[in-house]
């Protein structure tokens, strides 16, 4: 958003298992959204509040997605809460697809969404659940050690289009205060930073996790993180689908709900969970351009999903 823009900025608010997002529709990519503006919008005390921002742009209108326009009409230009750019967000893709349905751009059924992590294929069910084909995990050999309050754990390195370090712990409280990033070493394993998951067992094919998301601190849920956790747990359990020849499904509890992750023998990963649009309104452009201060958010109203 530039300082010369005087019209109110339209936004919506949505969440997937309480991983919440500010949604900014901008089909023709006309808005300038520098990191400082994104951070202001995502500020939970002085702005709208969110774990990230979903900038909704037609693929053909965005320089990073034009090469994907033949495969997916819409591009999810995802930003972390601090304004930094991210490759992918699993919960964000579900909410993004739900927004497209809410806005009348698509109907229930199959939807393709372009992301910096490639084109993601989404199925919108009429019962409100959304399934995302998350692609295949990459398992780099290089690994790191995670340390919190004097405890250390080896972490499985899983890349879901963005980097993850998965550590199995005895108690989720061992993750400590995830407002600050846990220490990891060697730093060279994750030169662009990393999402860190702490995992405990809940039962057969059932785990629970907490996550520190790169650029957002602890969040209530992380879709790519849940996929990384399921992949890492399957290897730990000796349940690699490629070796078994059958799909393997894990239930992953996050702080904001539950996600179901299925990995197929060919490596394809499906993630199923809810996605909800809860409100929409406009932001005063004068406030947004002015810098730190109290938000002047107008026209907020609840909407039916």
Beta bridge partners of 206: 203, 251
Beta bridge partners of 283: 9, 297
Four-residue CA torsion sign, 49, 54, 57, 60:
positive
Query: Is 227 a known active-site residue?
Result: no
Backbone torsions φ then ψ of 172, nearest 5 degrees: -65, -20
- The answer to whether 213 is a known ligand-binding residue is yes
- The answer to whether 19 is a known ligand-binding residue is yes
From the candidates 76, 89, 114, 229, give the one annotated as an active-site residue.
Answer: 89
Q: Which residues contact 43 (CB under 8 A, 6 or more apart)?
A: 49, 295
- The answer to whether 159 is a known ligand-binding residue is no
- The answer to whether 214 is a known ligand-binding residue is yes
Token pair in block for residue 38: 């994104």
Query: Is 42 a known active-site residue?
Result: no
- Return the residue matching tokens 């009429």: 126
- How far from 149 is each of 2, 178, 261, CA to CA, in Å? 43, 11, 31
SS (H, E, C) 111-145: EEEEECCEEEEEEECCCCEEEEEEEECECCCCCEE
- How far from 260 is each of 17, 41, 243, 254, 301, CA to CA, in Å? 12, 30, 21, 11, 31
- The answer to whether 180 is a known ligand-binding residue is no
From the candidates 1, 130, 160, 222, give the one annotated as an active-site residue.
Answer: 222
Rg, C-alpha atoms of the chain: 19
Q: Which residues are catalytic?
A: 89, 222
Annotated binding residues for substrate, written as ranges, equal 19, 80, 90-91, 162, 195, 213-214, 223-224
Annotated binding residues, written as ranges, equal 19, 80, 90-91, 162, 195, 213-214, 223-224
């Amino acid at each position: 958003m530039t300082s010369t823009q005087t019209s109110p900025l339209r936004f919506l608010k949505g969440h997937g298992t309480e991983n919440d997002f500010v949604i900014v529709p901008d089909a023709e990519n006309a808005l300038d959204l520098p990191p400082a503006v994104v951070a202001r919008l995502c500020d939970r005390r002085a702005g709208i509040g969110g774990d990230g921002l979903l900038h909704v742009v037609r693929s053909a209108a965005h320089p990073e997605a034009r090469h994907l326009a033949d495969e997916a009409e819409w591009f999810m230009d995802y930003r972390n809460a601090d304004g930094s750019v991210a490759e992918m967000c699993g919960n964000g893709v579900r909410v993004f697809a739900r927004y497209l349905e809410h806005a009348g751009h698509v109907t229930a059924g199959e939807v393709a969404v372009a992301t910096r992590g490639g084109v993601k294929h989404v199925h919108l069910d009429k019962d409100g659940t959304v399934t995302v084909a998350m692609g295949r995990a990459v398992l780099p050999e290089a690994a790191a050690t995670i340390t919190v309050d004097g405890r250390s754990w080896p972490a499985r390195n899983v890349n879901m289009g963005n980097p993850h370090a998965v550590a199995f712990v005895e108690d989720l409280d061992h993750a400590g205060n995830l407002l600050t990033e846990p220490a990891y070493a060697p730093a060279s394993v994750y030169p662009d930073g990393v999402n860190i998951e702490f995992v405990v067992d809940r039962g057969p094919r059932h785990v629970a996790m907490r996550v520190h998301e790169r650029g957002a601190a602890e969040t209530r849920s992380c879709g790519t993180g849940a996929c990384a956790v399921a992949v890492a747990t399957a290897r730990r359990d000796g349940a690699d689908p490629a070796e078994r020849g059958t799909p393997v499904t894990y239930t992953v509890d996050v702080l904001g709900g539950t996600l179901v992750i299925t990995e197929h023998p060919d490596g394809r990963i499906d993630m199923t969970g809810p996605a909800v649009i809860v409100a929409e309104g406009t932001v005063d452009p004068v406030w947004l351009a002015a810098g730190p201060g109290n938000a002047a958010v107008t026209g907020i109203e609840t909407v039916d999903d």
